[in-house]
């Protein structure tokens, strides 16, 4: 079944798709005929205001067996460790690092994608559609007769351990580690897993992810639009009398409603507001070929822009395998204090600036203006090594969620997850002075 999944290629395109079991299900020449083909219901899903400029207008038309309004009233449910309360604990400007987030055994506690959402940090205000949240998901069982949709923002999902089979109103996607997917605001989806599964989520409020502008890079490079994949239409006409649960995240709280049918009953659809996925191996890396570093913004896959030109609400950045060839240059990431906040995660391998301690399935947070950089061992090695062309980060994929907002860590992140590495600061304690006031051109460290 998984091998049969099909996709359409492109980023933000106008797509059109019909389940092959119902050829001609898309109306011809109009969106909302008096009677739709196959007696389907027409429903528009708007991802932007009607009056947005055409270049940023997002909407899709769905042709479904029953409209999504066919449900019982929503009622509040327990939200576990999902939160938008950024004042749970006092601010902490320290460098923070987490060991791999633990996944409970299914025999101990069954946890699906929704019940396994844990908010790590965030900032901003959901009600005014301005801000972000970073979540960790840990799960060991599939969602059964349950789906989820987010009224607050878009989810950029980064699986780290275990693949996800995601059912959406637009079709099915298989998303594996080293791939990402984006489920945009309002789209209903359900997640099947096949083993103990873990990953990261970047949620943005009020804006959508875009490809970064390329400027003098030109027309090609970084994440190319053709490499983004959108599912093709697929439906199930499945009755679940009063037993299918639709879970909604609204103003940071969870609500549930019952309905009699599967929500994945869309026979055909067209539009430019869709879920999509991307394989990080397809990223076209650009790097310095002479000396010094280009800033890590050259590794941006997707950006969610703010109203300030050149400043992102959030960027999704990766550090993929590449060549390092810069002459007379300290090649690892430089020491840095940043007006942006940087959360890093590791999908696989070993991050170049910290070979130990920063593990797959864990993370780190360097808040605005908090200093960070290579540990002592990395500095000593990189300062003395003979500079030759070398492969960097083979077998590794680290990433960064970078934001212009000042992130607050949740109570779960600081106290309850039991994964905080309280000794993180010690990785810089071995740094020592190499200052040589009487010699401007030292030959190396001793």
Active site residues: 293
Helix/strand/coil for 386: coil
Q: Are 332 and 353 in contact (CB under 8 A)?
A: yes
- The angle formed by the CA atoms of residues 238, 243 and 244, to the nearest 5 degrees, is 60
Residue 292 phi, psi (nearest 5): 65, -175
- Spatial separation of the C-alpha atoms in residues 397 and 402, rounded to whole Å: 16
CA-based radius of gyration for the chain: 23
Q: Which among 268, 271, 232 has a CA at the least distance from the CA of 39?
A: 268
Q: Determine if residue 366 is labeled as part of a ligand binding site.
A: no
What DSSP state is assigned to residue 414? I
Task: Give the span between the Cα atoms of 120 and 134, in whole angstroms.
Answer: 6
Given a contact cutoff of 8 angstroms between Cβ atoms, the answer to whether 341 and 122 are in contact is no
Distances (CA, A) of 434 to 14, 165, 384, 439: 58, 53, 13, 11
351 is in an annotated binding site: yes
Pure H helices in 333-384: 376-384
Candidates 358, 366, 375, 383; CA nearest to 429 is 375
Q: List residues forming the annotated binding site for Fe cation.
A: 336, 342, 372
Q: List residues forming the annotated binding site.
A: 336, 342, 351, 372
Q: List residues forming the annotated binding site for homogentisate.
A: 351, 372
């Amino acid at each position: 079944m998984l091998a049969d999944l099909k996709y359409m290629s492109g980023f933000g395109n106008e797509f059109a798709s019909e389940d092959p079991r119902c050829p001609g299900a898309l109306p011809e020449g109009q969106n909302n005929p008096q009677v739709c083909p196959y007696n389907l219901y027409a429903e528009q899903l708007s991802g932007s205001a009607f009056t947005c400029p055409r270049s940023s207008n997002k909407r899709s038309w769905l042709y479904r067996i029953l409209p999504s309004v066919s449900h019982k009233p929503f009622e509040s449910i327990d939200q576990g460790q999902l939160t938008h309360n950024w004042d749970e604990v006092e601010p902490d400007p320290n460098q923070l690092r987490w060991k791999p987030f633990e996944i409970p055994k299914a025999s101990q506690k069954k946890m699906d994608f929704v019940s396994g959402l844990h908010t790590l940090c965030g900032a901003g205000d959901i009600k005014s559609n301005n801000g972000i949240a970073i979540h960790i998901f840990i799960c060991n069982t599939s969602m059964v007769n349950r789906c989820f949709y987010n009224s607050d923002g878009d989810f950029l999902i980064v699986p780290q351990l275990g693949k996800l089979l995601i059912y959406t109103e637009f079709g099915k996607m298989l998303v594996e580690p080293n791939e990402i997917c984006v489920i945009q605001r309002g789209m209903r989806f359900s997640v099947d897993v096949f083993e103990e599964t873990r990953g990261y989520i970047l949620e943005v409020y009020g804006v959508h992810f875009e490809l970064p502008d390329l400027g003098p890079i030109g027309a090609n490079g970084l994440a190319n639009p053709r490499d983004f994949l959108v599912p093709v239409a697929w439906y199930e006409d499945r009755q679940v009398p009063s037993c299918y649960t639709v879970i909604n995240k609204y103003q940071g709280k969870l609500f549930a409603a019952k309905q009699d049918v599967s929500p994945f009953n869309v026979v055909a659809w067209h539009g430019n507001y869709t879920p999509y996925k991307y394989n990080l191996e397809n990223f076209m890396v650009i790097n310095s070929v002479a000396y010094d570093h280009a800033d890590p913004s050259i590794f941006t896959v997707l950006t969610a822009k703010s109203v300030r030109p050149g400043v992102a609400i959030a960027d999704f950045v990766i550090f993929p395998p590449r060549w390092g060839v810069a002459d007379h240059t300290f090649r690892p990431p430089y020491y840095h204090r940043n007006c942006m906040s940087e959360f890093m995660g590791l999908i696989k391998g070993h991050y170049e600036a910290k070979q130990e301690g920063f593990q797959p399935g864990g993370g780190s947070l360097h808040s605005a203006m908090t200093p960070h950089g290579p540990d002592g061992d990395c500095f000593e090695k990189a300062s003395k090594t003979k500079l030759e062309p070398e492969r960097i980060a083979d077998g590794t994929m680290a990433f960064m969620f970078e934001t212009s907002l000042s992130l607050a860590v949740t109570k779960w992140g600081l106290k309850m997850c039991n994964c905080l590495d309280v000794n993180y600061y010690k990785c810089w304690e071995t740094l020592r002075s190499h200052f040589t006031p009487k010699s401007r051109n030292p030959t190396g460290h001793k």
